[in-house]
Structure 1
Amino acid sequence: MDALHALHGRVSVPRLTGPAPSPEQREQLFKAALRAPDHAWLRPWRFLVLEQPGLEQLGELFVQAALHDEPELSTERQDKLRRQPLRAPMIIVAISCRQSHPKVPASEQDLACGAAVSNMLVAAHALDLGAVWRTGEMAYHPVVRKGLGLADNEQVIAFLYLGQCLGQRKAPPELATTDFFTPWSGPAAG
């Protein structure tokens, strides 16, 4: 699949099944991530690759985080949290590693990590894999941060769920570029 076809056809695929990406597919995904734009070549990212039993452990970490906030959390809600990471055979946790730099603010470093995730999403589509970028409250919870081993300068940018498409891939919506791109001729008057 050529690059423009992959970019124009990519959609999120939330319904995933096994198997997880093969070793060859993983290498292609990982290489795509490392080609993301990155001001000053800081490489402000790292990635955790979770499969079983790591997916179950992440689910337990989600439950611990929720119980920390709500000790009387229902069993039903605990079970739902426990199952969330099991919606895919593999999850890549993308972590922004913010570094002190006089010309590259932390926000740019977060964006670079996000671009790495975006590259993996497009690469997954090109490899005929399904993928969806998820975050949610657990991405920012201190119990989850600690359990994943994040340092103070780190932030989860994405839980990238990967696997095989379960069912038909949705068609991408048709968007008019003129709704989003307009010529600019200089500062507005007055």
Structure 2
Amino acid sequence: NTVRFTADVLAGVPSIVIGILGYELLVVPLGHFNGWAGALGLAFIMVPIVARTTEEMLRLVPGSYREASIALGATKARTIVKVVLPAATGGLVTGVMLALARVAGETAPLLFTALGSRFLTVNPNHPFPSLTKQIYDYATGPYAEQKQQAWAGILVLIVLIFGLNVLVRVFTRPRQL
């Protein structure tokens, strides 16, 4: 109950609050913006979504599956690994995808933690570029070309999220023997 309550509370926290907390707890002590702080801020947004969907998907696995496995002599651990998790895999992957789709569009935590960079970098110890931050910068910019690039970035984001959802559907559909 405590975990469920905590997940529900965290799911309701606005992303701007998570960004400010990330700034105070991760950026200020280190003395600079960095990709690690941005990743942790986004993970903090993902955790309650994944936790709640995982709980729901595991509850949807029929009790008769568990009972049959135990009746055949399997341990609880083996029942979980061989029966419950495979039965819930589609829902678990969907939950992770929902969380990824949510954080793909988040800008506020990245504004306060990773700051953004105009240059592509692979070093997470420095300010890190972000598509959503770039879209925000260009959409609020004064030039028509920047606004066009912002729309292109939005299209890329939509295509990426759509593509991930299609992949989930392909990999989680029931297989025929």
Q: TM-score when scaled to structure 2?
A: 0.28
| Structure with more strand by fraction | 1
Q: Which has the higher contact order (CA 8 A, sep 6+)?
A: 1
Q: Whose Rg is larger?
A: 2
| Structure with more helix by fraction | 2
Q: TM-score when scaled to structure 1?
A: 0.26
